[in-house]
Amino acid sequence: MTPPTRPDAMRRGLVVALALGCVLPGRGRAAEGLTASLPSLPRFTQTHHANAPLAGRILGVGGAALDPAQLVDRCAAASLCMVGEQHDHPDHHALQAWLIEALAARGRLAAVALEMANAGTRFDGPRDASEAAVREALRWNSRGWPWALYAPPVMAAVRAGVGVSGVNLPDAAMKAAYADPRWDASVPAAVRERVIREVVDSHCGLLPEAQAAKMARVQFARDDSMAGHALALVRAGKTVVVLTGSVHADRALGIALHLAAHAAPSGADRPVRVFSLLLQGLADDTPANVPQGYDAVWFTPATPPVDHCAQLKRQLNRRADGGRPAN
């Protein structure tokens, strides 16, 4: 689910599913304004629109250009710093790892909260733990969330000695949410209608609207779970980084709408401050502004184009045929 002005690739942030100007040596570009006190910025690995003027640029609300240090400052000033990703974009995960390292180096990082792991899972160290031990503690589902993509940000937190927690709604609870009409009233009516339309659009118009409405309930329940469990990690004077899909990070549609239903821990900063960063792969017509619902955007090259509607149709056809592969 993404606003219609965003490129189709952004729709990969919807997981309710059926189931900078400075050119660096070598390939790719990095963000503008590299600051010596920050970790080295990763080089982009994707090549689509890698040479576009916006590639690597960071913008704040109103179109103001930000350098990486300013972005870290804004994230560090928030209780929750939500980072909206395209799930299958390697450069987005590299930037997440960079941000985690930068906040940890300042002593500002309270925890990392993950959409990709269920609430109730947590890894608290040691710093030198193996990746296998971290995956086991988080009960990582590599089929849904390829570990090779997520190892950089998760292990950046582990190596910094910072706890990593799952905050998503457990799979067992999703079926109940799907059938529970109370979630229909958990967001304003206009938001519900927008989310339902996005579910329909992100599934290429192949879903009946009644089914899309029930899938929207799961989206709201997942946002509520992430809000409550991320809020529980908040500590005074520090920042919880929330790694999640772009729609969940949208302040007008996602996690932020559910924070008021949960109490912050005693001693946490009041009010709870939220900063939302969108990591956005470029399209041919990407505008040079911050999409509504976010506080900043970091533009990256795009992943190779994929016909997701064709993939979805093949999946549905296989199910209709009893799981037989299509000819």
* Cβ atoms of residues 238 and 177 within 8 Å: no
DSSP 271: S
- Residue 50 covered by a domain: no
Q: How confident is the model at residue 316 (pLDDT cuts 50, 70, 90)?
A: confident
- Residue 135 covered by a domain: yes
The pair of structure tokens assigned to 75 is: 């994230």
Mean pLDDT of the chain: 88
Contacts of 286 (CB under 8 A, 6+ apart): 7, 54, 280, 299
Q: What is the pLDDT of residue 173?
A: 96
Residue 54 has pLDDT above 90, yes or no: yes
The residue-averaged pLDDT of 46-50 equals 96
- Residue 188 covered by a domain: yes
Residue 6 has pLDDT above 50, yes or no: no
Q: What is the pLDDT of residue 109?
A: 97
- Residue 225 covered by a domain: yes
The pair of structure tokens assigned to 212 is: 């899309």
Q: What percent of the chain has pLDDT over 90?
A: 75
- Residue 108 covered by a domain: yes
Q: Which domain holds residue 69?
A: 55-286+297-320
- Residue 270 covered by a domain: yes
- Residue 325 covered by a domain: no
Lowest mean pLDDT among 23-32, 76-85, 112-121: 23-32
Amino acid (1-letter code) at residue 307: D
- What φ, ψ does residue 116 adopt, rounded to 5°? -80, -5
* Cβ atoms of residues 276 and 249 within 8 Å: yes
Q: How confident is the model at residue 206 (pLDDT cuts 50, 70, 90)?
A: confident
Number of domains in the chain: 1
Q: How confident is the model at residue 323 (pLDDT cuts 50, 70, 90)?
A: low
Lowest mean pLDDT among 78-92, 136-150, 298-312: 298-312
The residue-averaged pLDDT of 137-150 equals 96
Q: What is the pLDDT of residue 265?
A: 84
Residue 5 has pLDDT above 90, yes or no: no
Residue 53 has pLDDT above 90, yes or no: yes
Lowest mean pLDDT among 9-23, 66-80, 238-252: 9-23
- Residue 14 covered by a domain: no
For residue 67, what is the domain's CATH number? Answer: 3.40.50.11550
